[in-house]
Amino acid sequence: MNNTVLITGASRGIGKAIAELFAENGYNVVINYRSSDIKANELYNKLVRNNRSAMLIKADVAVREQVDEMYAKIKSAYGGVDVLINNAGIAEQKLFTDVSEDDWDNMFDINVKGMFNCTQAVLNDMISNKYGKIINISSIWGLVGASCEVAYASSKAAVIGFTKSLAKELGPSNICVNCIAPGIIDTDMNASLDDNAIKELKEQTPLIRLGSPEDIANLALYLASEKANFITGQIISPNGGFVI
């Protein structure tokens, strides 16, 4: 039986690249999304046309009831989840003095509470099965901080602390918990940057380019594989040498 992966925020960018790569490698792929109906359906239809095993579920990961309903559908179809990739997230550039309480709460609801909800939803079955891979997507800014992104960087730092702690707790159950902290990746999240800003970022990166969503997907596939069974609690940052 094929392993099943749940990818949150999978309709575009890094999540989409992960979904496509895992589908190519024989996984049952559950595509979660919140609002990008057109892009999510395009991805789902593409996978199905290519004879991939896929399921499409619209759910807000910040709302526990919706997450529980999503997992019930997955369990009915596939028996559970072998790999959880907590990828859903938002970003915002704003001076800290301009960040409202609602801005802060929304950032943490999606980037941190969503991870909490999805992990708790799948965990009892993983513990019973004595097997599971949990991969959390953080950011380079969660490692080093970023001016005008205090809320975002703080939420991504929380993802790192969550990963390290949960890995220690779940190790005896043979569940690996790791974190990917990407550098500057060429996705819609960075579409607001102008050409000069992109040029400067490339020049600051030793590999002289931005990362691609596929760069992150390849790492996620490795961490989900049997080849990574002795890797847990790690924060791996594919960033082209931007931070060493």
Q: Is 152 a catalytic site residue? A: yes
Q: At which residue do the structure tokens 């997507």 appear?
A: 137
The structure tokens listed for 2 are 């094929």
Question: What's phi and psi for 11, nearest 5 deg?
Answer: -80, -20
Going by C-alpha positions, the residue among 60, 69, 57, 68 that lies closest to residue 6 is: 57
Which one of the listed residues 44, 131, 152, 222 is annotated catalytic?
A: 152
Cβ neighbors of 6 (< 8 A, separation 6 or more) are: 30, 32, 71, 74, 81, 83, 84, 85, 118, 122
Point out the residues that are catalytic.
Answer: 152
